[in-house]
Amino acid sequence: MFVDKAVIEIRSGKGGNGAVAFHREKYVASGGPDGGDGGDGGDVVLMADANMSTLMDFRYKRKYAAGNGADGTGKRCTGKRGEDLVIKVPLGTVVRDKATGAVMADMSATERFVAARGGSGGWGNARFATPTRQAPRFAKAGLPGVEREIVLELKLLADVGLVGFPNVGKSTLLAAVSRARPKIANYHFTTLFPNLGVVYAGEDRSFVLADIPGIIEGASEGAGLGHDFLRHIDRCRLTVHVVDVSGSEGRDPIEDFETINRELAAYSPALASRPMVVAANKCDMASPEQIERLERHVRAAGLDFFPISAAAELGTRELVRAVSYKLSGLPPIRTFEPEYVEPEEPSELPDPEINREDGVWYVDGGWVERLVQNVNFGDYESRNYFDRTLRDRGVYARLEELGVAEGDTVSVCGIAFEYRR
């Protein structure tokens, strides 16, 4: 199955917590604090793989998480860094942030892209020793990792895209000019997913040709199959518009030509303005008058016109040479510039929420979550720091304004105690 769009959840690793430890050695009195820092969390890394051609792997697995950093230990030993998670995607995958739709990266080359950086490890108590606080019994908790949803969108890396109505002979043309072997049959929507072929136009001259599933009227609004795959010609440097000049399907070739152009313009004005040549296919089944009528219309639009028969391989060499010549003067395959800006960490975390339920006052969220993580409640000095911080930052004042009474139970992020003024 060909899958060219997927939404996945990624989470980088949490930083390890710093350690609270003291030096213990025979004949060494008061060795002092020597708790090490926690290890940094692992990153989520995307890497393009030329051997992948679809996003099928992401159809069944949608959640990816990197390793957490290990906690620090005594003897000032830093915890092990969390393992990076490397996710392989096909070449040409565009990565977007789901929340904003902004492009984060274009995986058109094999360089690695860090989609989510791991959280930093917390400091051990050895870092908090000062001349006046020589035995700190607290350490910092590691920072959490980054969680986000990203959209993976495969846009084929093709130089030339074949566009046109269903059953006009696009797959037959691809098979005639390259070694690709797409499914060919005389019914609409034989091609259910894009096919690629390498076309050799001469010594040291080649280009990649993409056969896009047939487009019909209303494709830009979701009709038919072609709308699902229009994204694959976003990168194409040139389009070959294949038209059934014989009218074998009972349609007017000129109306076909104009309809497809309208759909391309509705999908992307930039795509509609891209260089185009017209291949009038099935000319062996058409009358000279039919060919001449379409040619006049196409040349009046300022486009090159090539009568061909893909099935009989008539005129295909001339078409390939002309396409190769035009490509030599065109810029390289389009790449998408990153637009995403990593949101800045707030310099000040918000104040916690205070609620009362069943006689218990609950203080949750905001900066108190980080405070609770960084307090060693088994240490008297750390508990005093916890109490002092709540008082200095106005939590107790807010509780009193809301009517807290002496002896009421207060729960701060799960740490419960009786309130005393």
Going by pLDDT thresholds of 50, 70 and 90, the confidence category of residue 183 is: low
Count Cβ neighbours within 10 Å for each residue of 274-307 and write b for 16 or more, e otherwise.
Answer: bbbbbbbbbbeebeeebbebbbebbeeeeeebbb
Residue 363: pLDDT over 90:
yes
CATH topology of domain 353-418: GMP Synthetase; Chain A, domain 3 (3.30.300)
Who contacts 225 (Cβ-Cβ below 8 Å, separation ≥6)? 189, 192, 213, 214
Alpha helices in 132-276 (DSSP H): 170-177, 226-229, 253-267, 269-272
pLDDT at 258: 93
CB contact at 8 A, 8 and 149: yes
Going by pLDDT thresholds of 50, 70 and 90, the confidence category of residue 50 is: confident
- What is the mean predicted confidence (pLDDT) over 234-240? 89
CATH topology of domain 160-327: Rossmann fold (3.40.50)
pLDDT at 157: 80
Residue 243: pLDDT over 70:
yes
Count Cβ atoms within 10 A of the Cβ of residue 69 and give its class: 0-12 exposed, 13-18 middle, 19 or more buried. buried
pLDDT in tens, 8-49: 999 999 999 999 899 888 887 778 899 999 999 999 999 999
In the chain, what are the domain boundaries? 1-154, 160-327, 353-418
Between residues 180 and 103, which one has the greater pLDDT?
Answer: 103
pLDDT at 227: 58
- What is the mean predicted confidence (pLDDT) over 222-242? 75
pLDDT at 52: 86
pLDDT in tens, 134-153: 888 888 888 889 999 999 99
Residue 192: pLDDT over 70:
no
Using the Cα atoms of residue 54, residue 60, residue 63 and residue 66 in order, give the sign of their dihedral. Answer: negative
Going by pLDDT thresholds of 50, 70 and 90, the confidence category of residue 322 is: very high
* Least confident segment among 129-143, 189-203, 290-304, 388-402: 189-203
- Name the maximum alpha-carbon separation found in the chain: 107
pLDDT at 340: 83
Nearest to 311 by CA among 172, 164, 197: 172
Residue 181: pLDDT over 80:
no
Quote the percentage of the chain above a pLDDT of 70.
Answer: 92
Residue 363 φ then ψ, to 5°:
-115, 110
Domain 1-154 has CATH 2.70.210.12: yes
Nearest to 226 by CA among 237, 239, 212: 212
Residue 88: pLDDT over 60:
yes
pLDDT at 228: 65
CB contact at 8 A, 207 and 160: yes
**Residue 43 CB neighbour total at 10 angstroms:** 24
Residue 221: pLDDT over 60:
no
State the Cα–Cα distance between residues 12 and 6, nearest whole angstrom.
19
pLDDT at 117: 95
- What is the mean predicted confidence (pLDDT) over 65-87? 95
**Per the structure block, which two tokens stand in for 338?**
């990153």
**Residue 67 CB neighbour total at 10 angstroms:** 20
* Least confident segment among 75-84, 289-298, 333-342: 333-342
Q: Give the angle subtended at the CA of 180 by the CAs of 175 and 185, to the nearest 5°.
A: 50
Residue 383: pLDDT over 90:
no
Quote the percentage of the chain above a pLDDT of 90.
Answer: 48
Q: Give the angle subtended at the CA of 213 by the CAs of 270 and 208, to the nearest 5°.
A: 70
